């Protein structure tokens, strides 16, 4: 079975080894549980917004259907001060593309929430309350779209906030999650991924 992961630095795993990225760790957990799945194809780059990911899909034109499609995007929209309305519109379009790549079956799509980078050492001199509030609003919009489409929502934001500035859970840049943090995300995504792969295609 084929696995496609779409996103930004959190999906490409900025600062960690390829096998520490959360999609790779998720695939490993699935395989350990007896699920035959290919290594994930990842379309993601550090710094990407929703518009950048849409452009990349236009360029790379991945061919479905994929048994599992994961989407995690939006932190750079928030970081750059892009409008929530713009994110809501562009996220919905990306979600529709993810569903199409999953054989037009939203049950094969999982969406991970945007983690809170405001708790990291990188954000020590930033307005952490403002960051958290904005990320919550972006996640509210993404969660509503995800559930409305019939896809699965996976909350990793709470885990990111629990990790906080703990050095075990950030890379050397003080911003991006470590392999240990991604292991937790993979664990949180595992039930939804199993359910997605068990769903019968329409």
pLDDT for residue 62: 96
SS3 assignment, position 15: coil
Q: For residue 165, name the pLDDT band (cuts at 50, 70, 90).
A: confident
SS3 label, residue 90: helix
DSSP for 102-149?
TTT-GGGEEEEPPP-GGGSGGGTTS-HHHHHHHHHHHHHHHHHHHHHH
Residues ≥6 apart with Cβ < 8 Å to 183: 20, 22, 25
Averaged confidence pLDDT in the chain: 96
Query: How many structural domains comprise the chain?
Result: 1
Instruction: Determine the average pLDDT of the residues in 60-78.
Output: 97
CB distance 106 to 69 below 8 Å: no
What's the rounded mean pLDDT across residues 137-141? 98
Tokens of 97: 């593309």
Taking Cα atoms as reference points, which of 178, 131, 148 lies closest to residue 20? 178
What's the domain range around 171?
A: 3-198
Return the ∠ at Cα 34 (arms to 30 and 35), rounded to 5°.
Answer: 55
pLDDT given for residue 6 in this prediction: 98
Residue 202 has pLDDT above 60, yes or no: no
- Taking only the tens place, the pLDDT of each residue in 3-23 is 999 999 999 999 999 999 999
User: Mean pLDDT, to the nearest integer, of 73-99?
Assistant: 98
> In this model, does residue 184 exceed pLDDT 80?
yes
At residue 200, the pLDDT reads 67
pLDDT attached to residue 64: 87
Distance CA 180, CA 6 (A): 21
Q: Length of the chain, please?
A: 202
Q: What are phi and psi of 179, to 5 degrees?
A: -60, -35
pLDDT at position 58: 97
pLDDT in tens, 32-42: 999 989 999 99
Please answer whether residues 84 and 61 qualify as being in contact, where contact means their C-beta atoms are separated by less than 8 angstroms: no
Question: Taking residues 126-150, what's their average pLDDT?
Answer: 98
Backbone angles phi, psi at 93, to 5 degrees: -65, -40
CATH of the domain at 154: 3.40.50.1110
Return phi, psi of residue 200, to 5°.
-80, 135
pLDDT at 52 over 60: yes
Does residue 67 surpass a pLDDT of 80?
yes
């Amino acid at each position: 079975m084929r696995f496609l992961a779409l996103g930004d630095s959190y999906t490409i795993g900025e600062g960690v080894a390829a096998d520490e990225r959360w999609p790779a760790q998720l695939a490993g957990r699935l395989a350990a549980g007896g699920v035959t799945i290919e290594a994930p194809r990842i379309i993601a780059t550090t710094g990407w917004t929703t518009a950048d990911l849409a452009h990349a899909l236009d360029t790379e034109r991945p061919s479905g259907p994929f048994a599992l499609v994961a989407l995690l995007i939006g932190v750079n929209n928030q970081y750059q001060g892009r409008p929530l309305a713009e994110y809501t519109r562009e996220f919905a379009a990306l979600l529709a593309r993810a569903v199409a790549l999953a054989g037009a079956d939203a049950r094969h799509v999982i969406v991970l929430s945007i983690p809170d980078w405001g708790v990291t050492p990188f954000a020590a001199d930033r307005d952490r309350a403002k960051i958290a509030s904005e990320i919550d609003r972006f996640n509210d919009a993404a969660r509503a779209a995800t559930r409305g489409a019939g896809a699965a929502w996976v909350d990793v934001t709470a885990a990111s906030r629990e990790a906080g500035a703990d050095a075990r859970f950030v890379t050397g840049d003080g911003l991006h999650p470590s392999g240990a943090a991604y292991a937790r995300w993979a664990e949180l995504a595992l039930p939804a991924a199993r359910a997605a792969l068990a769903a019968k295609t329409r």
